[in-house]
Each structure stands twice: as structure tokens, then as C-alpha cells.
Structure 1
Amino acid sequence: MFLPSVHAETDDAVLLQFIRENPLGMLITGINSSLDFLQCTHVPVVLDAPEDCDDSAPQGRLRAHIAKQNPQVKGMIESLESKDGVITLETDVLVVFNGKHDHYVTPKFYVETKPDSGKVVPTWNYSAVQVYGKLSLYYDSKTPEAGNFLAQQVHDLSQHTEKSIMGYTGGENPQPWKVSDAPEKYVELLQRNIVGIQIRIDKLQGKFKMSQEMRPGDRDGVVKGFSRMGGETGEAIASMVEERGILHEKKKQKD
């Protein structure tokens, strides 16, 4: 990821919260096998925060599951020797998380620089977080270690997405769906056809490209432009540009 300092987010707490709020990641691997070297799978993840992990994962872990028939999984299994139903890749993997809202930015929004010199061009505002780390694959649900991992993973993911994403928390809201709501034999069958993924987080990178590099008048024009555009995306981008602009100005004052 290209990370100009003006767009970089270096606070791990902010980056981890971003993953919680945007749990659909793109898992990218490069594996020597009879299949394509580069593979990518979109997969929702559970984040285990650093305080919930042991010393082997001081920056936290990601957990997920994907189909056993996925070519990415076949490449992993083909390339390495297994031990008790678990494979650990030798090379790092990359997981990319994108923010919910991104949008093209027209130069017409730059009300300070465009009338002054005309030296403005279009761009795209977006936010993203990248995770690098070591991946362990739990591929045989019949082994105790993989079976327990998959059961816990499926439970934790459903609880996170039902409560945090859907807002089903009980009380005045609907009750969250639980794995136990499905027939036990049906769940066992599904688990035999998936594999568990665990990634130790070794490096976090984050980028919020929200017009921070522009002059204050231009940023204000971007905020007003997206506010006029309206809708969920327009309002969200306007809010983020304003928020990131304030943070940028405070950082400049400290420097």
C-alpha cells in the first residue's frame, strides 16, 4: 500500500476497530502449486484483539473459514506437509479490508484552488486497512484441534455479525440467530466442507484518503459537495473528510 504520511493511520486501535466494522476481507496468497500462484478469496473474519491473545500473537489474530473446494485451499494443502489436520504457511499472507464508503471526487469541489490556478485533477476518496501475517489452515474437521477451531469460529462469527452488523441484540431488537438454531447434523455436514483460517497479525497498515492533502478551502468544498450529493455515501464521505481534515490540522500544529 502506498502510504503518504498525510493519509496514513498509525494508531493500531483505530485500525483494529476498522476491521471490526468492516469484517469482509480479501485474503491474498502466493503459493507454488499446480494451481494459479496468486489466489484471492473474500471472507468475513473474526478479530481476536491483542489483549485476548497469548504472547504468540501480540498484535492479535484474524479467524475465518472458507470452502474446502476453494482453489486457494487446494493450493495450500498441495504445497505443504500437514500435521494433525493443521498446515502453517511459510510465507506471509495479505488480508485487505475496505471501508464501506468510497467515491470519485470531481475537481469542481475544489472551490479554492480551481478558481485560483485551475491546477486540480480528479481523484478517489477511500479508506482501507491491510494485515500481513502467518496463516494456519485447519483443514480436517475430524481431528479434535480442527473440529474445535471450526465450531468456535462459526459460533463467534455468527454472533459478531448478528449483533454488530445486524444489530440483533435482544430486548427491543430481534434475537440474534445462533448456530444451535440449525439442525446439529446439518451443521456437522457443513463443517466437513469448510476449513478454518487463523492469521497471526504481524503488521497493520491503514490509509484514510479523505482530501487531507488539499487546502482548507478545497476540503470545505469537498464536504459541501458530498453533503449536497446526499444519500448514505455522500453524507458518510462528507463526515469523514471533515473529521480527517480536523485531525490533519491538529497534527500540523503539533509538528
Structure 2
Amino acid sequence: MYSKAVFAPGGADEVHELIRRTVFGTLITKSPDSLVISHLIFMLDRDRGPHGTLISHLSKANEHCALIEQGAESAVVFVAEQGYISSSWYPGYPVRDSAPTWNFSVVHCHGRPRALDSSGTLAHLQQAVAHLEQGRERAWNMQELGDEGVARRLRNIVGFELSIERLEAKFKMGQDERPLDTQAAIERLELAGACPLAMQMEQKNRNRI
């Protein structure tokens, strides 16, 4: 992935946190004929593998399953806070000589998937539900499906894990723009209610503005 040093993450914890809060990622796997792409949820085990391990599941009817069984070369892409940055927000009117841009946070996780057995898949589903239901009033749990309901669903899915062998991350948040322009963009985003992107930009430019 093309990047600049100024867009590098502050460390592995920041990258792992992006995966944890994003959850939804894109699995891309090379097949003999083409690329196969699936959009899935992922849980992260930070303590296993060189850069952590992703755990997910998909339908048995998905053509991706055969490639997972083969351990085919794959990448998972997570896109977090992102949005258009307009030059109309910058000070200096009528002369605004900075081009508009798109700011974003993205992580690429490279590795080879490995299929899980039914107990591993069930453990992953329980973890995913607990993570996504946390903090909700009357949080749902898998026991409400009953044993037969859980077994019926397990028969139709394939769980897998992907040990992250190579990890790439890019936090493009205006670090290479003029500080006054970046500050103005943050203020406009906050006015529009796009707070997650504004917060990321503010954090990444804290020492400049």
C-alpha cells in the first residue's frame, strides 16, 4: 500500500484498536482464475500470531469456503473514519491554493486463512455476539436460540481464522496539509456532525495545530 511516513500509525495498539472498533472488513483471496471478495465481520485476538489473528465466519454456500480450506493467500481490508475534505473550508479566500482531498484510516491484514472446527466456530460466534451486544439494554445472547437453533445455524457456516503475517496501516488525516487548513477542516466537520473523522484528524495533528 502506498503511504507516507507522516501517515504511519503510532504503534500496533492503534492499528488493533481500528480493527476492534470497525469489525466489518473485506476479505480478498486469490483464486486460480480471479480474486474472490467477501464482506464479513472479524474479531481480533491480539495475542496470537506475529501481528494478531483475525477470526470470522461465512456461509457454506460462499465460494470463498473452498479457498479458505486451501489456505489461499488473502488480505483483509478495514476502512474506518473517512470523508471528503473541501478546499472551500480553507481560510485565505478568495485565494485557496490547496486542492481538496479525502482523509481516511485503513488497515490491510495479509495472511492465509485456516478453517475452524465446529467448537472453534461456536466460540467465535459467542465472542462476536458478546462484543457487538455489549452496553445494549437487554443485550441478546446466543442461548436464546436454543441448542437446536444454534446447531442448525452451525451446519450452514464455516468459521476460520487468519494469522496476520503482514500488517499495513495508513492514517491519512491532513498531517501533510497546512496547519491552518487542517484546523479549518476539523471545525467544519464538527459543525456538520462528522465527529469521528474530526476527532481522528485532531488527534493526528495535535502537535501541529
The reply to whether TM is greater than 0.5 is yes
Q: 1:133 aligns with which of 111, 128, 146?
A: 111
Contact 1:126-1:209 within 8 A present in 2 as well = yes
- Indicate whether 1:246 and 2:200 are aligned: no
Cα distance, 1:137 vs structure 2 = 2.0
| Distance (whole Å) between structure 2 residues aligned to residue 38 and residue 29 of structure 1 | 6
Given that 1:96 and 1:130 are in contact with CA atoms closer than 8 Å, whether structure 2 keeps it comes out as yes
Aligned AA (2:30): G
Q: Distance in 2 between matches of 1:241 and 1:5?
A: 16
Q: Aligned-pair distance for 1:221?
A: 1.4
2:110 partner letter: Y
Unaligned runs of 5+ in 1: 78-86, 139-145, 169-173, 251-255
Residue 192 (structure 1) shift? 0.7
The 2-side partners of 1:135 and 1:38 are apart by 15
AA paired with 1:188? A
Deviation at 1:20, TM superposition (A): 0.7
8 Å Cα contact 1:68/1:195 also seen in 2: yes
Using structure 1 for the length normalisation, give the TM-score.
0.76
Q: Is the 8 A contact 1:10 1:206 kept in 2?
A: no
Number of the residue aligned with 1:110: 90
Q: Deviations over 1:69-124 (max 9, x none)?
A: 012224x27xxxxxxxxx351x431001111x321111112215x655x4321211
The SS at the match of 1:182 is: helix
Moved >3 Å (runs of 4+): none
Question: Which deviations, in whole Å up to 9, do the C-alpha atoms of 1:131-160 show, x marking residues without a partner?
Answer: 11121023xxxxxxx111111111111111
User: In structure 2, what is the Cα distance between the partners aligned to 1:123 and 1:7?
Assistant: 14
Q: CA deviation at 1:68?
A: 0.5
- Select which of 62, 75, 88 maps to 1:70: 62
Partner of 1:6: 6
**Matched letter for residue 90 of structure 2:** Y
CA shift for structure 1 position 58? 3.4
| C-alpha distance in 2 between matches for 1:239 and 1:199 | 31
Amino acid at match of 2:34: F
| Aligned counterparts of 2:197 and 2:118: Cα–Cα separation in 1 | 42
Question: Matches of 2:202 and 2:127 in 1, distance apart?
Answer: 35
Q: Is residue 2:118 matched to residue 1:147?
A: yes
Q: 1:143: which partner in 2?
A: none
**Percent identity of the aligned residues?**
27
Larger Rg: 1
Aligned partners of 2:82 and 2:180: how far apart in 1?
21
Residue 119 in structure 1 maps to residue 109 in structure 2: no
Distance between the aligned counterparts of 1:200 and 1:10, measured in 2? 22
Taking the aligned partners of 2:63 and 2:10, their CA distance within structure 1 comes to: 34
* TM-score, length basis structure 2: 0.91
The CA deviation at 1:10 is: 4.8
Q: CA deviation at 1:27?
A: 0.6
Whether the 8 Å CA contact 1:29–1:94 is kept in 2: the answer is yes
Would you say the 8 A contact 1:9–1:205 is kept in 2?
A: no
Uncovered stretches (5+) of structure 2, i.e. residues with no partner:
none
**Match for 2:155: what amino acid?**
R
RMSD, matched Cα: 2.0
